[in-house]
Amino acid sequence: MTERAELPTYVLGHSQRELKRLIRQAELFEPATEQLFRMAGLRSGMSVLDVGSGAGDVSFIAARLVGPSGKVVGIDNSADAIALADARAQERGLWNVRFVQADLNEWTSDRTFDAVVGRHILLHQPDAAASLRQVTRYVRPGGLVIFQEFNFPDELISIPPVPLYHTGYSWVHEAISKVGWDRHIGLRLYPIFIEAGLPAPKLIAYSNVEAGPDSTVYEYLADVVHTFLPLIERFGVATADEIQVDTIAERLRSEALARQAILTLPPVVGAWTRK
């Protein structure tokens, strides 16, 4: 049995720390996702299914766009994620959103939606096209299918180079490779849509460029390394003593500011089509 087969589908778990990481990640990529949804045609009054809804951030973007006359249903297999998403929706006064605990590959519904959306979810599916085919069963003819996924390059760009940024990313990148994720799934969304029986999608890529003392990129990298630490150690990529995860954010901020550096994040690729 391979390492990948021994690992759960979502290898990063659903701890409170991981959910907080997802919220910080969502803040970084919210502009990219909202832009994608607007370009694809998500609009007032629509009903939307958000698969792999996590802490609820993608559902909240959709809810704002469809407005009070629209509806959003988010599904996620983690009870903790659903509870957090529910609480956050209430805090925001988003009464047009509800969350359901379910596995996207097993969930069934007697209704159809105007759109199905998902962000960073196909990456975690053993068969991305099969999962996409499953959830698009609940999209009405002519409805929207909108997904956004990472493309993990071999190296990130920092100008001038920030050694810790590249080292930290290399630890995560190698762990991702060992887990067996498709590191270029964002750039493979086109054939995945086709294999799922959908019309050819349109595509757009978005990349965050970060700099300065107020950027959240330093804490974000520390969050990601902390999340991946068990896998980094399991696969012999690096040790906790080498990484010193609790001080990464401060060290990275110091290095970047000393160099007045610009840091790029892995790009996200969006794809959309009509069923």
- 136-173 tens-digit pLDDT: 999 999 999 999 999 999 999 999 999 999 999 999 99
Question: At 248, is the pLDDT very low, low, confident or very high (cuts 50, 70, 90)?
Answer: very high
Task: Please give the distance of CA 131 from its chain centroid, rounded to a whole number.
Answer: 16
Domains of the chain (ranges; CATH) run: 3-274 (3.40.50.150)
**If you ran DSSP here, which 8-state letter would residue 229 be given?**
H
For 68-127, how does the pLDDT look when each residue is reduced to its tens digit (9 = 90+)? Answer: 999 999 999 999 899 999 999 999 999 999 999 999 999 999 999 999 999 999 999 999
Question: At 48, is the pLDDT very low, low, confident or very high (cuts 50, 70, 90)?
Answer: very high
pLDDT score for 3: 37
Q: Which residues contact 208 (CB under 8 A, 6 or more apart)?
A: 28, 29, 32, 217, 264, 265
Q: Which residues contact 30 (CB under 8 A, 6 or more apart)?
A: 57, 61
Specify the amino acid at residue 17: R
The mean per-residue pLDDT over the stretch 41-54 comes to 97
Pairing of the two strands 97-101 and 71-76: parallel
Residue with tokens 């969350």: 99
**If you ran DSSP here, which 8-state letter would residue 106 be given?**
T
Say if residue 12's pLDDT is above 70.
no
What's the burial of 23, exposed, middle or buried (CB within 10 Å: 0-12/13-18/19+)? middle
